[in-house]
């Protein structure tokens, strides 16, 4: 297929109903992924689209899906798989807006956390398009309440994220149950080996459409990092919010616990903030998002997994409170701001032990992130003074009932206060500036002697390298196929994964974990009917770490050993404390 440069949606040959909906939604020109993807999907070809959040990929597959649905046939004709319930809801709503003038079309979002009985009733009435998460789709397949006999289009949205979350086996089961003559469309931010394995097995001569990196990295985003002492991150963040007058902001953390801590700190300082992470029920998530979209909440604090599928626009900025564990997460994060030609800001708060992650991100994105200077306490007071004067001036100009309050100053004079004292006290009260222990302190960490070039004193390498050439902390692993007998992400040089289903007391297991890994003990085993994908999914989802970083998994009859990166071990212990796997309570600790 020859790629044409389509400048308008009309040139794509879309129906009047779709064009009318696009006009109402404010879309006039297709994005690169839409201009290339829509014609390819509409001609019936299998398609691989490499594109990230914010590029318009939902419309790239949603429009062709709508164009090919027969509304007179009440059977499911298209299935869209998404990694999270938030993304499933967002995609179904987006397709619903595109289908506003397609009469008789029915779309159903199915995901965990929503009533399965309600979903069954809806499916029985007849649905044309199903958008769902792999787990809930599998539930309906087992109940025989979701049938694929007449499915002609299958879409995998954010396929790499689904694999990272341990859904590979479910995805393959769903694809294997589809009609052989279906059309398969796959969208992924990366083209890893597991992704390519799925495309080779389940797609036929797919067309590859790739949005190159310079189209993914928005030139309107100002990217700056600040070297910050860990305990001073909240203080620096609030100074940046005030200094740059950020009214709509996303703050990213690596753990659920950190989200809750930051929200509490911000609320105590008077900032309208809410958090979103995996522990919230669907209704709580919906309430948080409604308040944020309405402007009642101005700061949304989230983990990477929970933020997947969040549909927000017009953000003033993004703050990386924690530097992400995966370079691709950084691109996803900052892509939330600076959309639709608007400018945006991406600030990263970097503790000393996070500096190596920042360097990895710069190498991955090929973008130099500038070092910023932390605003001083005096800077913030000056900024708030200026805004206070503007606010008072506007109030005086707009007020038509000044006579009701005109005698307040005279009353305070009679109480013995000068005009200067009154104005100063009012300004301090309204501005909310409170001097604290950070006011006169240096909040940036100082480079140790010899660290300027990334080396300790004595010339040794600051971050050890493995003999294989990979960084001790940055060794990127690919998710291996989850078979019935062996599983684990393959390390460098290994041709097979490293899952062993052992027996209690079996001595085959290595006495020590691989370098850079910590071995954990889990109180569940084969008798609890847990599989490697259950463990990977639980740890990756709850601790918010990439599933591909999890190492060897040894499942015994009554317990399991799993290797995780040293840097993530404590986060995993905190996240899994009191948690469950497949509905069964699990105890987890560092293996003795």
**Domains of the chain, start order:** 10-215 (3.40.50.300), 218-375 (3.40.50.300), 388-396+404-431 (no CATH), 500-590 (3.30.70.330)
CA 103 to chain centre: 34
DSSP states of 321-373: SS--SSHHHHHHHHTTSS-TT--EEEEEEE-GGGHHHHHHHHHHHT-PPEE--
Asked if 520 and 591 touch (Cβ cutoff 8 Å), the reply is yes
Asked if 75 and 150 touch (Cβ cutoff 8 Å), the reply is yes
User: Residue 285: CB partners within 8 Å, gap ≥ 6?
Assistant: 86, 276, 306
Output the CA–CA distances (angstroms, integers) from residue 317 to 99, 214, 247, in the order listed. Answer: 31, 20, 9
Q: Residue 461: what are its φ and ψ, rounded to 5°?
A: -65, 130
Instruction: Give the containing element (helix H, strand E) for 222.
Output: strand 221-227
Amino acid 429: pLDDT: 66
Neighbours of 29 (CB within 10 A): 10
Amino acid 420: pLDDT: 80
Neighbours of 386 (CB within 10 A): 10
Asked if 564 and 520 touch (Cβ cutoff 8 Å), the reply is yes
User: Residue 501: CB partners within 8 Å, gap ≥ 6?
Assistant: 485, 526, 554, 555
Q: What's the CA gap between 310 and 329, in Å, rounded?
A: 14
Per DSSP, 506 falls in state -
- Nearest Cα neighbor of 288 from 269, 307, 305 is 307
pTM of the model: 0.50
Q: What's the CA gap between 72 and 104, in Å, rounded?
A: 8
- Per-10-residue mean pLDDT, the chain, length 592: 65 90 83 88 90 75 93 94 84 91 93 88 94 93 92 92 84 92 89 86 90 53 90 92 89 89 89 85 81 89 76 81 83 74 83 85 86 87 79 70 68 79 72 61 63 39 31 33 36 37 43 80 89 86 81 89 89 82 85 79
Amino acid 1: pLDDT: 45
CA 333 to chain centre: 7
Amino acid 511: pLDDT: 60
Q: How many helices (H) and strands (E) does the chain have?
A: 21, 21
Q: Residue 250: what are its φ and ψ, rounded to 5°?
A: -110, 130
Asked if 195 and 203 touch (Cβ cutoff 8 Å), the reply is no
Q: Which residue has 């909310």 as its token pair? A: 432
End-to-end CA distance of the chain: 59
Q: Residue 123: what are its φ and ψ, rounded to 5°?
A: -65, -35
Amino acid 433: pLDDT: 58
H-assigned helices in 372-531: 377-398, 408-414, 419-431
Q: Residue 376: what are its φ and ψ, rounded to 5°?
A: -80, 170
Residue length of the chain = 592
Q: List beta partners, residue 465.
A: 471
H-assigned helices in 25-83: 32-42, 57-67
- Nearest Cα neighbor of 586 from 541, 538, 531 is 538
- In 474-522, the DSSP E strands lie at 500-501, 517-522
DSSP states of 149-167: TT--EEEETTHHHHHHTT-
Interstrand relation of 553-555 and 500-501 (parallel, antiparallel or unpaired) = parallel
Q: Residue 565: what are its φ and ψ, rounded to 5°?
A: -55, 140
């Amino acid at each position: 297929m020859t790629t044409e440069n389509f400048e308008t949606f009309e040139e794509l040959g879309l129906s009047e109903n779709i064009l009318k909906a696009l006009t109402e939604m404010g879309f006039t020109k297709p994005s690169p992924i839409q201009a290339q993807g829509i014609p390819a999907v509409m001609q019936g070809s299998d398609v691989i689209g490499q594109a990230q959040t914010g590029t318009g990929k939902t419309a790239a597959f949603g429009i062709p899906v709508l164009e090919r649905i027969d509304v007179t046939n009440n059977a499911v004709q298209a299935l869209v798989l998404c990694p999270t319930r938030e993304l499933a809801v967002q995609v179904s709503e987006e397709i619903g807006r595109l289908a506003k003038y397609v009469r008789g079309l029915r779309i159903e979002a199915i995901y965990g956390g929503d009533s399965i009985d309600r979903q069954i009733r809806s499916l029985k009435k007849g649905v044309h398009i199903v958008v769902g998460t792999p787990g809930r789709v599998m539930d309906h397949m087992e109940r025989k309440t979701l049938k694929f006999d007449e499915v002609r289009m299958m879409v995998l949205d954010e396929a790499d994220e689904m694999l990272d979350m341990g859904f590979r086996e479910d995805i393959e089961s769903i694809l294997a149950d589809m009609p052989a003559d279906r059309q398969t469309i796959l969208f992924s931010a990366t083209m890893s080996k597991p992704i390519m394995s799925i495309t080779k097995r389940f797609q036929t001569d797919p067309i590859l459409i790739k949005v190159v990196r310079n189209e993914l990295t928005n030139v309107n985003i100002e990217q700056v990092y600040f070297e910050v002492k860990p305990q001073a991150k909240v203080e620096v963040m609030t100074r940046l919010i005030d200094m740059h007058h950020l009214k709509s902001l996303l703050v990213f953390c690596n753990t659920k616990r950190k989200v809750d801590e930051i929200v509490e700190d911000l609320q105590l300082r008077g900032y309208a903030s809410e958090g979103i992470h995996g522990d919230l029920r669907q209704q709580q998530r919906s309430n948080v998002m409604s308040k944020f979209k309405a402007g009642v909440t101005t700061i949304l604090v989230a983990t990477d997994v929970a933020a997947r599928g969040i549909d927000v626009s017009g953000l003033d900025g993004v703050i990386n409170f924690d530097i992400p564990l995966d370079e691709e997460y950084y691109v996803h994060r900052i892509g939330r701001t600076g959309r639709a030609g608007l400018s945006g800001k991406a600030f990263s708060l970097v503790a000393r032990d996070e500096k190596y992650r920042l360097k990895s991100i710069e190498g991955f994105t090929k973008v130099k992130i500038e070092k910023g200077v932390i605003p001083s306490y005096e800077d913030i007071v000056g900024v708030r003074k200026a805004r206070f004067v503007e606010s008072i001036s506007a109030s005086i100009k707009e007020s038509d009932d000044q006579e009701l309050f005109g005698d307040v100053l005279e009353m305070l004079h009679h109480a013995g206060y000068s005009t200067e004292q009154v104005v100063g006290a009012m300004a301090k009260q309204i501005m909310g500036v409170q001097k604290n222990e950070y006011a006169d302190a240096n909040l940036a960490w100082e480079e140790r002697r010899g660290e300027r070039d990334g080396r300790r004193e004595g010339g040794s390498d600051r971050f050890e390298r493995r003999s294989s050439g990979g960084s001790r902390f940055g060794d990127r692993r690919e998710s291996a196929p989850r078979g019935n007998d062996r599983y684990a992400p393959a390390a460098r040089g290994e041709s097979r994964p490293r899952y062993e289903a052992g027996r209690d007391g079996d001595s085959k297991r290595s006495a020590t974990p691989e370098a850079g890994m910590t071995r954990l003990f889990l109180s569940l085993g084969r008798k609890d009917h847990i599989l490697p994908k259950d463990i990977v999914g639980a740890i990756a989802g709850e601790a918010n770490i990439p599933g591909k970083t999890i190492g060897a998994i040894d499942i015994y009859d009554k317990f399991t050993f799993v290797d995780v990166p040293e840097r993530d071990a404590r986060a995993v212990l905190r996240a899994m404390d009191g948690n469950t796997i497949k509905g069964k309570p699990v105890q987890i600790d560092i293996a003795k």
